[in-house]
């Protein structure tokens, strides 16, 4: 399938030939406190990330059973909490959304958020968000995906837990501009043995969409590997401190860790370089020094007809190539040469 070439998110071009677009996923790590959320945005700006992402959900959009609990780790200790209460305390108001959008812009970051309703999509349109992100849990909500497709905003869709059929159904909701698909493993944290990063190029070839990676693993290695496999967007959870209360802080990156992740991705991009089958620009000196040339194996007098056993192949390069040695055999020298002389075409009559 023909691949979608690219699009623009906020102030950035995203797609082949452009730097990987890096999202610091704040999610619910603001803990329902606007001042904390704004501190995290400011910290994200110092890491080299391109965007911050929040979640402008309403708990009732996806959860009604108040008996469901969630167990997570806070500062090394296990904690169990009502899912409903947990999500409810981290909801954002429309005023929060506006404030975070302005703060992100002030610090040079694009603002992205994940809504859970059509009204949430409309709110993001009204504040001119850079993009919409659909979470893996909402991949099957096709009416919401269609509303995202009609919003006019670039849409990023995570594919955690999804089958091929479910991904096709989701992409089918976008008859115009295709979404960016993020490979994702919905485990927190996700172990290296479960990452299956080879799905990234498979997603691209199967759907024609730009692809990326929502990284729930620890460290920065998998993000760099994903970049090498063609990911044009990387999303990573972000916090100020692993010890803050809440379910995601322990597996999120701190400012120092996010800066390292960004550095790893940019180094991966540099290392990928060009696919052209030609010497690298910096190899010109190496070719001259390390390649071999046709060299005289003994002292030869003027008029000598060069034989095959008069030629050996020694460093440096820059002389007649070994592949051209056959063209020297049978030629007559116009002047004497010493053993070790690099043959030149001008040596011959």
Tokens of 33: 């406190």
Rounded CA separation 191/253 (Å)? 16
Rounded CA separation 93/216 (Å)? 27
Rounded CA separation 112/128 (Å)? 10
Per-residue CA distances from 164 to 6, 137, 254 (Å) = 23, 15, 34
Burial class (CB in 10 A: 0-12, 13-18, 19+), 306: buried
Digit-by-digit pLDDT tens for the chain (349 residues) are: 666 678 999 999 999 999 999 999 999 999 999 999 999 999 999 999 999 999 999 999 999 999 999 998 888 888 999 999 999 999 999 999 999 999 999 999 999 999 999 999 999 999 999 999 999 999 999 999 999 999 999 999 999 999 999 999 999 999 988 999 999 999 999 999 999 999 999 999 999 999 999 999 999 999 999 999 999 999 999 999 999 999 999 999 999 999 999 999 999 999 999 999 999 989 989 999 999 999 999 999 999 999 999 999 999 999 999 999 999 999 999 999 999 999 999 999 9
Tokens of 136: 């893996």
**Helix H or strand E encompassing 110:** strand 110-113
Dihedral of alpha carbons 42, 44, 47, 51, sign: negative
Tokens of 45: 């700006």
Phi, psi of 314 (to 5 degrees): -130, 160
């Amino acid at each position: 399938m023909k691949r979608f070439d690219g699009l623009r998110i906020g102030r950035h071009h995203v797609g082949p030939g452009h730097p990987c677009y890096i999202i610091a996923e704040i999610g619910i790590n603001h803990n329902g406190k606007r001042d904390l959320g704004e501190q995290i945005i400011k910290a994200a700006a110092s890491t080299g990330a391109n965007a911050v992402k929040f979640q402008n959900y309403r708990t009732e959009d996806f959860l009604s059973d108040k008996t469901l609990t969630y167990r997570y780790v806070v500062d090394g200790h296990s904690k169990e909490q009502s899912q409903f209460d947990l999500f409810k305390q981290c909801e954002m108001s429309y005023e929060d959304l506006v404030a975070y959008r302005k703060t992100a812009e002030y610090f040079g970051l694009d603002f992205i958020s994940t809504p859970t309703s059509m009204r949430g999509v409309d709110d993001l349109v009204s504040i001119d968000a850079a993009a919409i992100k659909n979470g893996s849990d909402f991949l099957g909500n096709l009416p919401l995906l269609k509303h995202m497709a009609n919003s006019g905003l670039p849409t990023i869709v995570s594919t955690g837990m999804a089958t091929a059929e479910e991904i096709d159904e989701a992409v089918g909701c976008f008859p115009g501009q295709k979404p960016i698909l993020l490979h994702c493993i919905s485990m927190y944290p996700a172990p290296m043995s479960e990452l299956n990063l080879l799905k990234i190029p498979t997603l691209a070839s199967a759907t024609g969409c730009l692809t990326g990676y929502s990284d729930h693993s620890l460290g920065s290695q998998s993000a760099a590997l994903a970049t090498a496999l063609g990911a044009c967007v990387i999303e990573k959870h972000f916090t100020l401190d692993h010890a803050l209360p809440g379910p995601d802080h322990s597996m999120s990156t701190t400012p120092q860790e996010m800066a390292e992740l960004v550095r790893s991705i940019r180094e991966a991009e540099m290392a990928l370089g060009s696919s052209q089958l030609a010497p690298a620009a910096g190899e010109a000196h190496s070719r001259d020094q390390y390649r071999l040339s046709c060299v005289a194996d003994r002292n030869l007098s003027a008029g000598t007809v060069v034989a095959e056993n008069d030629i050996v192949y020694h460093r440096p390069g820059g002389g007649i190539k070994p592949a051209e040695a056959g063209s020297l055999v049978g030629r007559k020298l116009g002047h004497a040469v010493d053993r070790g002389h690099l043959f030149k075409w001008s040596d011959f009559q």
